[in-house]
Amino acid sequence: MSLTPARLAGLKEVLEAAFQAEQARLAEVSGRIEAVRAQLDALHRPPVPEAGQEVSATAMAGANMRWRTWVEQRRRRLNEELARLLQEKEARRADLAAAFGKLQAAEAMQVKLQAQARQKAR
């Protein structure tokens, strides 16, 4: 089975689609990473009591302690999620690099076939 220009064109289409799919996967993971980072940034803002609401110092102290506990638990979960996503992003980058390499190889093969065809035509 020899590699014809038509078969190579079909292979290139498949490889291009695979490359674009990998790009989309990487973009999706990057978006999720940004969302988690935004949530982590939002945790730095302290809670603000509603306007007109009178809160005793004791109630405020209890609320602050519960808030800090919740924030630390939430931050821990978000950091775990961020670490997992960063690891996934690196795997996606490797997949993208492999897909790009295959596409580049197919393009090089196409150039070589075209050069051979021109040489035969002479």
pTM of the model: 0.77
Decide if 51 is inside a domain.
Answer: no
pLDDT in tens, the chain (122 residues): 577 888 989 999 999 999 999 999 999 999 999 999 999 999 887 666 555 556 677 766 777 888 889 999 999 999 999 999 999 999 999 999 999 999 999 999 999 988 888 898 88
78 inside domain: yes
Any domain includes 19: yes
Written as one string, the DSSP assignment of 42-109 is HTTSPP-PPTT----HHHHHHHHHHHHHHHHHHHHHHHHHHHHHHHHHHHHHHHHHHHHHHHHHHHHH
Could you tell me if residue 23 is inside a domain?
A: yes
CA separation for the pair 64, 43 (Å, rounded): 13
Q: Does residue 100 form part of some domain? A: yes
Tell me the residue range of the domain where 96 lies. 5-46+56-121
Query: How far apart, in whole angstroms, are the C-alpha atoms of residue 60 and residue 80?
Result: 30
Number of domains in the chain: 1
CATH code at 25?
Answer: 1.10.287
